[in-house]
Amino acid sequence: MADEIKYEYKTVQTVRGTDGLVISKMQKEGWELVEQTQGMLRSTLAFRRPKKPLPRLLIGTAVGGLVILAVVIGVGAALEDGGGKKDESSKPTVATASAEPSATSTPTAAGSAAIEVITPQNNPEFAALLKMPDSCGSANADFATKYKGKTVAFDGSIVHMAPHGDNDTRYDFLLGPGDQGPKTGIGPSFKYADVNVLDLKLTGPNTPAVVRAGDKFRFVAEVGEFEAKQCVFFLDPVSTENR
């Protein structure tokens, strides 16, 4: 059918906790989510969007070219017949061009695109950083310099939270790797500065209405600066999955 919508397809693999960010980005580009498969560490998202139709001017030009080709072939055949029969071996062979479109209409996948997220499983430097006994060590500054602006993901907990200045709705959060909350004794002192609860972008089952010290999450965040004087490693929240 002429009005049948044809789609192009794309599959995207994401690290757990970044699904919402990727879906939003793809939808802005015109993609529609058609399937979501959840794995232990990664999710597979399937998208589709309508293929752009071939411009009418281009179609008309192609059809016009075929008509002209047919006329030229017809005139040549008529001239040969009018001139009488000549030596069969000297007659040129006229090649015919097939304008039949391909019968294959099933779209193929455009390929898988993976979002690069640094985790303890795929980055030995990050794995060592999370187990480091000294939160003021030079490894913090080295990692922040090398990976500033990159996205990291790790299982951790809230070590401490306090109002930011005199604000009652914005907070400073200290985060640590593992499940020990205020008792955390290893890894960097990660900090979310001047954020509200909505900025955490809470996801996952049984998402809490409020958060407090000791709560356990899977943090996905963008790497910021390391403040050596305070021994604080700044992050910007991307998503926070309850666990």
DSSP string, 197-242: GGGG-EESTT--SS--TT-EEEEEEEEEEEETTTTEEEEEEEEEEE
Higher pLDDT, 12 or 123: 123
The three-state secondary structure class of 52 is coil
Q: Are residues 223 and 144 in contact, defined by beta-carbon separation less than 8 angstroms?
A: yes
- Compute the distance between CA of residue 117 and CA of residue 226 in angstroms, rounded to an integer: 19
pLDDT for 13 = 83
- Compute the distance between CA of residue 156 and CA of residue 224 in angstroms, rounded to an integer: 18
- Compute the distance between CA of residue 19 and CA of residue 218 in angstroms, rounded to an integer: 13
Q: Any idea what DSSP says for residue 133?
A: S
pLDDT for 235 = 98
Statement: residue 180 has pLDDT above 90: yes
Written as one letter, the residue type at 210 is: V
Q: Are residues 176 and 129 in contact, defined by beta-carbon separation less than 8 angstroms?
A: no
pLDDT for 110 = 41
Statement: residue 40 has pLDDT above 80: no
Name the percent of the chain lying above pLDDT 90.
Answer: 48
pLDDT-derived band of residue 213, with 50, 70 and 90 as boundaries? Answer: very high
Which of 34, 48, 41, 32 is closest to 13 using CA atoms?
41
pLDDT for 212 = 94
CA distance readout (Å), 56 to 45, 52, 163: 34, 12, 61
Statement: residue 95 has pLDDT above 50: no
Which of 191, 193, 202, 190 is closest to 170 using CA atoms?
193
- Compute the distance between CA of residue 20 and CA of residue 201 in angstroms, rounded to an integer: 9
CA distance readout (Å), 201 to 20, 42, 215: 9, 19, 15
What is the arrangement of strands in the sheet containing 7-15, beginning at the earlier edge strand?
A: 32-38, 42-50, 7-15, 109-114
Q: Are residues 51 and 6 in contact, defined by beta-carbon separation less than 8 angstroms?
A: yes
pLDDT for 114 = 52
pLDDT-derived band of residue 223, with 50, 70 and 90 as boundaries? Answer: very high
CA angle 163, 168, 174 (to 5 degrees): 25
pLDDT-derived band of residue 71, with 50, 70 and 90 as boundaries? Answer: low
**CA-atom Rg of the chain in angstroms:** 31
- Compute the distance between CA of residue 141 and CA of residue 89 in angstroms, rounded to an integer: 84
